[in-house]
Structure 1
Amino acid sequence: MRQVDIVVIGGGIAGLSAAMRLARRARTVVIEREGALGYHSSGRSATFSHFGIGDAAVRGMTAASRPFFETPPDGFVERPLSFAKPAMFIATEELIGELRALESEMTRYTDTITRVSPAEMLEIVPVLKTGVGGIVEGLLDRSGRKLDSDLLLQACAKAVRAAGGEVVTEAGAIGLRREGERWIVDTAGETYSTATIVDAAGAWADEVAIAAGVRPLGLQPMRRTIIGFDPPEGLDVSAWPFTKTAGDEGFYMLPDAGRLLASPMDVTPTEPTDAQPEDFDIALAAWRVEEATTLEVGRIKAKWAGLRTFTADKVPTAGFAPDAPGFFWLAGQGGYGLQTAPAMALATEALLFGEAWPEELAAYGVRPDQIMPDRLFA
């Protein structure tokens, strides 16, 4: 039986980014049941950071995370972790109210947002259908950033190991129990005795808690689908922004390695699983692109689905379980796990070690009570 201080269950971006900070201060092991890091969610994201999703807490954590992506710590990566790419939010006549509400929220965190007319939008994305029955108003946010999720995952894992921690794949938690003041975590290859468990198991976080005898949060995994297709021959889309419909229904689209990626922004409740795209959602993605643009989605060159797991209030959670000593929640990242990971890691370090709340989070109005799990049991 290995004696450690912290066992992080889950090798996605939440667990790895937190472990990177924790391993500097305590003997830390990250265990991941799959053979690859970030297999279910982090590795299936559109990897774009913007202020157009979430509530004030999420936007605040997005803002607090930006310096990390723009200027990573010395030696963390050998190439850029992100690059600037604008985000453009579009609305039909029926969605102008939602677009204006979005503008009001976003301008609290960035001064780079401007309204764009249909003519201006066509200069940016010339395939949009504008005018009567089409897109009539937009917002352009020049602070958007495209993230390199694989580089981020691997760099975090490297940093964990450099600090003396371990990252073990194909090591699912097959047994969890409390013995005295310690937790015992069984995996296929090793048994760990630890003071603290960090439950960063994504869509499986509630299942991990139940196995440990801890009250679950009521997390809900949601399936989201993305398709990839080629733009018309001769059309250079590389400078197009991340383009998203205002509101909860519609689509988003962004260029990626010469192709266009698109999602119907589906939010289909599902059980924790290896999510696969369904024919209806694939067709819906193509249809919504064709409804809003002059593009014809021909052969679909790529398609995948991933899980986004939400708490009841759709705010990520970090903090000790109120009913289980040494059991720390790091879950419910929803659709913003990558773009808030550095901020959530800061919060996790402070809450786990009982330290002062980070100034980086307080500066953007993010409070402990907004993310601690106690609120979900009130």
Structure 2
Amino acid sequence: MSSFDIAIIGGGIAGLSAACFLAEDRGDGSRIAVIERESQPGYHTTGRSAAMYTEVYGNATIRAMVKAGRPFLKTPHARYCDRSFLSPRGALMIARDDQVHRVGEFLREMNRPDVLEQVDRDRCLQISPALDPDYVAGGVHEPDAMDIDVHALLQGYVRVFRGLGGQIIADAEVRSITRRNGVFAIDAGAGQIEAPLLINAAGAWGDVIAGMAGAAPVGLVPKRRTAITFDAPAGTNPGNWPLTFDLDEQWYFKPDAGRILASPADQTPSEPCDAQPEELDIAICIDRIETASTLEVRRPASKWAGLRCFVDDHSPVNGFDDRIEGLYWLVGQGGYGIKTSPVMARIAVSQIAGRPIDDDILAHGLRPANLGVERLRGQ
């Protein structure tokens, strides 16, 4: 039996960012363990993400956390990375003739004239030259949207956590959890682990883990998203193209390591699993991209799928369980887990330590009640 002060189930971006910041807050990570069912951290959703930093998508809770996390992502301390996690990309949301009347509605809802500009058809084609001129009527440009280096960010969390003595226990699928005398005993395959504080950062398996610990589910719904990469047209250099997507989020494409990454932006409910792409979704992706652009997908160079998890109101769950003492939820980030990770982790550190959430986070309009488990319990 290995004893710790804190056990975190899930070695994705949520679990490792929390582990890292908790270790920093304590000045020592040797009493913190991250339990990961796979052989390496970030195997599932984290390792399959094409994350973008943009402050104008998701609900108000997501947008507040993203804005608060910008300083960390843009200028991390050297212990995390010797360069920014962000790099220029830009984003272009386009609308067809039958959609263009809704562009104004979107701009009013976001109310961010400082980062968004409405653009006409010709400007859309200048910004994203692969678009089909007959498909585009207008759009919205976010010049300052940025790529996130997901690998560097995850490895930064891992490096700092391990540097403070933190332990990542891999190949450790949780089989059972029991709680006696205020301590959780976790059978994780690799051995027995016990800790008085258990953080549930298990992603798609979050409700399953909660059930093992005796807690009621929060209603997590994993949803599959598919992606492919394919070769850019001969003689073109797509490196400066933006993320390009449609107003109804039915497709997107962006440059990726010399190729084009594309997705049908599918959200198919799924059981927790090692998600794999379906051939129908790949075919839909190719059809949508070829309909909206002049690109031809002769054969995907790679294909994959990942699970994005949601509760009913599409805000994350970040707080102590309302019934099981010592159980902390850190799940439900949807498609925003990468860019919210530094702030989600800071919020968890504050609440676990019994401190108020930092003012620089609350200054962006975050309401802590919108993260708590209680909002999902009908209380």
Sort the TM-score into its range (normalised by shorter chain).
over 0.9
Q: What do the CA deviations read for 1:41-76 (whole angstroms, capped 9, x no partner)?
A: 000011212234310111111111111111012321
Contact 2:7 2:198 in 1 (8 A): yes
Q: What do the CA deviations read for 1:323-351 (whole angstroms, capped 9, x no partner)?
A: 10000000001111101111111111111
Contact 1:98 1:247 in 2 (8 A): no
Equivalence for 1:114:
117
Contact 1:52 1:102 in 2 (8 A): no
What is the Cα deviation at residue 97 of structure 1? 4.6
Equivalence for 2:43:
39
Q: Report the Cα distance in structure 1 between the residues aligned to 2:8 and 2:100, rounded to whole angstroms.
A: 44
Does residue 326 (structure 1) correspond to residue 326 (structure 2)? The answer is yes
Contact 2:79 2:160 in 1 (8 A): no
Q: Report the Cα distance in structure 2 between the residues aligned to 1:17 and 1:351, rounded to whole angstroms.
A: 15
What is the Cα deviation at residue 103 of structure 1? 2.1
Q: What do the CA deviations read for 1:183-225 (whole angstroms, capped 9, x no partner)?
A: 1112222322211100000000100011111111110000000
Q: Report the Cα distance in structure 1 between the residues aligned to 2:108 and 2:67, rounded to whole angstroms.
A: 16
SS at match of 2:141: strand
Contact 2:185 2:195 in 1 (8 A): yes
SS at match of 1:89: strand
Assess, with a 3 A threshold, how the Cα gap between structure 1 residues 63 and 77 changes in structure 2: closer, same or farther: same
Name the amino acid aligned to 1:354.
Answer: G
Does residue 283 (structure 1) correspond to residue 287 (structure 2)? The answer is no
Q: Report the Cα distance in structure 1 between the residues aligned to 2:163 and 2:109, rounded to whole angstroms.
A: 39
SS at match of 1:295: coil
Calculate the aligned-residue CA RMSD, in Å: 1.4
Contact 1:51 1:106 in 2 (8 A): no
Q: Report the Cα distance in structure 1 between the residues aligned to 2:110 and 2:147, rounded to whole angstroms.
A: 18
What is the Cα deviation at residue 161 of structure 1? 1.2
Q: Report the Cα distance in structure 2 between the residues aligned to 1:255 and 1:88, rounded to whole angstroms.
A: 13
Q: Report the Cα distance in structure 2 between the residues aligned to 1:373 and 1:213, rounded to whole angstroms.
A: 15
1:63 alignment partner, one of 45, 62, 67: 67
1:116-265 to 2 correspondence within 5 Å? 116-131=119-134, 134-248=135-249, 250-265=250-265
Name the amino acid aligned to 2:173.
Answer: G
What is the Cα deviation at residue 32 of structure 1? 0.3
Question: How many corresponding residue pairs?
Answer: 374
Q: Report the Cα distance in structure 1 between the residues aligned to 2:355 and 2:368, rounded to whole angstroms.
A: 11
TM-score normalised according to structure 1 size = 0.95
Equivalence for 2:305:
305
Equivalence for 1:91:
95
Does residue 30 (structure 1) correspond to residue 58 (structure 2)? The answer is no
Q: Report the Cα distance in structure 2 between the residues aligned to 1:204 and 1:77, rounded to whole angstroms.
A: 30
Contact 2:199 2:329 in 1 (8 A): yes
Does residue 347 (structure 1) correspond to residue 347 (structure 2)? The answer is yes
Contact 2:75 2:83 in 1 (8 A): no
Equivalence for 1:361:
361
SS at match of 1:93: coil
SS at match of 1:287: helix
Identity of aligned residues (%): 40
Q: Report the Cα distance in structure 1 between the residues aligned to 2:142 and 2:322, rounded to whole angstroms.
A: 40
What is the Cα deviation at residue 79 of structure 1? 4.1
Q: Report the Cα distance in structure 1 between the residues aligned to 2:256 and 2:226, rounded to whole angstroms.
A: 16
Q: Report the Cα distance in structure 2 between the residues aligned to 1:371 and 1:238, rounded to whole angstroms.
A: 38
2:76 alignment partner, one of 72, 75, 92: 72
Q: What do the CA deviations read for 1:302-324 (whole angstroms, capped 9, x no partner)?
A: 11100001111111110001010
TM-score normalised according to structure 2 size = 0.95
Q: Report the Cα distance in structure 1 between the residues aligned to 2:232 and 2:182, rounded to whole angstroms.
A: 59
Q: Report the Cα distance in structure 2 between the residues aligned to 1:243 and 1:117, rounded to whole angstroms.
A: 15
Q: Report the Cα distance in structure 2 between the residues aligned to 1:74 and 1:329, rounded to whole angstroms.
A: 30
Moved over 4 A (4+): none
Q: What do the CA deviations read for 1:230-255 (whole angstroms, capped 9, x no partner)?
A: 1110011100001111124x201100
Q: Report the Cα distance in structure 1 between the residues aligned to 2:176 and 2:104, rounded to whole angstroms.
A: 50
SS at match of 1:285: helix
Equivalence for 1:273:
273
The answer for unaligned runs of 5 or more in structure 2 is: none
The answer for unaligned runs of 5 or more in structure 1 is: none
Contact 2:53 2:86 in 1 (8 A): no
Contact 1:99 1:247 in 2 (8 A): no
SS at match of 1:140: strand
Contact 2:79 2:156 in 1 (8 A): no
Q: Report the Cα distance in structure 1 between the residues aligned to 2:376 and 2:296, rounded to whole angstroms.
A: 45
SS at match of 2:87: strand
Contact 2:316 2:332 in 1 (8 A): yes
Equivalence for 2:336:
336
What is the Cα deviation at residue 353 of structure 1? 1.4
Q: Report the Cα distance in structure 1 between the residues aligned to 2:37 and 2:237, rounded to whole angstroms.
A: 41
